[in-house]
Structures are given as C-alpha cells and as structure tokens.
Amino acid sequence: MNIVPFDTAKFQEKLVEAKFEPQQAKAQSDVMVEALSSNMDKLATKEQMEAIKAQMEAFNMRFDDQKEFFTTKFNDQKEFLTQAIDTAITKGVIKLQNTIMYTSISVAVLILTFRTFFWK
C-alpha cells in the first residue's frame, strides 16, 4: 500500500500547540494517516495513466479507420443506388414514352378505321 508522505509527529505537535490533548492529537494523526493511505492503492500512477492514454489513442485510431471504411462503403452504396434509381427512372420514362407512342398510334389507327368505315 502506498502512503502519502505525512509527518505525524509534526502534525501532532501542531495540534497540541492548538490546545488539543495529546491523545486527541494522536487520534487525529492516526485518522489522517488512514484517510490518506486508504485509497492510495486505487489511484493510478503517471505511467499507468500514460499507458491508458496510449490505449485510448490506439482505440481512436482504429475507430477512425473503421469510420472511414464504413463511410466509404456507405458512399459507394449511395452512389450505386442513385445510379440504379436514375437508370430505373430513365427506363421507366422510356417505357412510358413507348406506351404513349403505341397508344397514340393505336388511337390514330382507330380514327382512320372509324373514318374509313363510318365517315362517308
């Protein structure tokens, strides 16, 4: 267990000078030592923090690579679908134009037929 450097004798001396009883000064000193050392094993050292920082940076680099990969894939799919939709619309328009043309021809034939037989 790591302990923060703490001069208990000096601390007790200052408490006694401040009119604490020696037993109270010792008890206060003991409590301070316990408080300062109780969670020290849960604190990270500078080296541990630097290692964690390096791991985080490596993770961020992998994340950025994945983000770039998926962004590229998304954009490729978007472009493919846009082209497919444009092609489908163009083909649909052509089919519609052909249908209109065939319908117009059929109507013209009907009119000519009607005129020929019934309009004399």
Tell me: the pLDDT tens digits for 15-59? 999 999 999 999 998 888 887 777 777 778 899 999 999 999 998
Q: Is the model's pLDDT at 3 over the cut of 60?
A: no
For position 56, what pLDDT does the model report? 93
Any domain includes 19: yes
- Residue 7 in any domain: the answer is yes
**Of 71, 35, 66, nearest to 58 (Cα)?**
66
Tell me the C-alpha distance between 95 and 70, whole Å. Answer: 36
Residue 26: inside a domain: yes
Say how many C-beta atoms besides its own lie within 10 A of residue 70's C-beta: 10
The reported pLDDT for the residue numbered 16 is: 92
Q: What is the predicted pLDDT for the residue at 114? A: 65
Range of the domain at 19: 1-43
Residue range 67-95: mean pLDDT, rounded: 84
On whether residue 105 sits in a domain, the answer given is no
Rounded to the nearest 10 degrees, how much is the dihedral formed by the CA atoms of 94, 98, 103, 107? 120
pLDDT classification of 1: cutoffs 50, 70, 90: very low
In a domain, 82, yes or no: no
Instruction: Please compute the mean of the pLDDT values over residues 57-75 and round it to a whole number.
Output: 87
Number of domains present in the structure of the chain: 1
pLDDT on residue 23: 93
Instruction: Examine residue 37 and state whether it is found in any structural domain, yes or no.
Output: yes
